[in-house]
Amino acid sequence: MEDDLQKLVLARLAELGSARRPLSYRAAAARSQGHVSHGTIGRIARGQHTGALEDETLDGLALALNVPRTHIEKAAGVFRERPLQPFTLPPRASRLSHSEREVVLSIVDALLAAAAHAGTTRRPKPTPSPSPLRPLRQTSPADHTPHRDDHALVAYSTDGIGRISAADLETIRRHEESYRKAHTEKKQQEDL
């Protein structure tokens, strides 16, 4: 398995470097934010490493080579499946309004539906756990009052630079469309 790690390191250094020269061991070490030394990267690249890798070294190699840590673990032969923890939102999510919580749930539903549609199960089904969002009663948009919380559909990107994926925009569009449709139907029923 050590040969696989050596191959991965050499391949990534070549990909991250210029067309004429691979990324240097020192430059790669600088990318690791101090988690791995240029000497360690060099020993791995030359096939001279002892094979014992600590967690900090694994993290550093992942940063230096811009690959997920699991790639490093698999190449080094130390990968182990980790059970997923039940998904819960952070306590700050309790500040979301009712309609904002519904948007979050609709995004979760859209992601799960997309995974099911693709025929892939990315993760084992976690055991149900209490979540700040689950105590809310699932309602259809028609059950809501016509009041509109204009801030409910504000989307935030996790990278902090304001980009929103096309899938998230589509989810938001569908949510707004279903809200308008339900509101129109409710108005028509009230007019009768």
Give the chain's domains with CATH numbers.
2-76 (1.10.260), 91-191 (no CATH)
Least confident of 66-70, 109-113, 120-124: 120-124
**Which pLDDT value is given to residue 189?**
82
pLDDT band for 169, please (50, 70, 90 cuts): low
Q: pTM, whole model, 2 decimals?
A: 0.44
Query: Does residue 153 register a pLDDT over 50?
Result: no
Among residues 62, 63, 57, the alpha carbon closest in space to that of 33 is found at 63
- Token reading at 178: 């279903």
User: What rounded mean pLDDT belongs to the chain?
Assistant: 76
**Which pLDDT value is given to residue 176?**
79
**Which pLDDT value is given to residue 162?**
52
- C-alpha gyration radius of the chain: 24
pLDDT band for 186, please (50, 70, 90 cuts): confident
pLDDT band for 191, please (50, 70, 90 cuts): confident
Query: Does residue 173 register a pLDDT over 60?
Result: yes
CA separation for the pair 144, 99 (Å, rounded): 9
pLDDT tens digits for 72-107? 888 888 877 776 678 888 889 889 998 898 899 889
CA separation for the pair 69, 79 (Å, rounded): 9
Residues 51-65 have a mean pLDDT of 88
pLDDT tens digits for 5-55? 999 999 999 999 888 899 999 999 999 988 999 999 999 999 888 777 888
CA separation for the pair 184, 169 (Å, rounded): 22
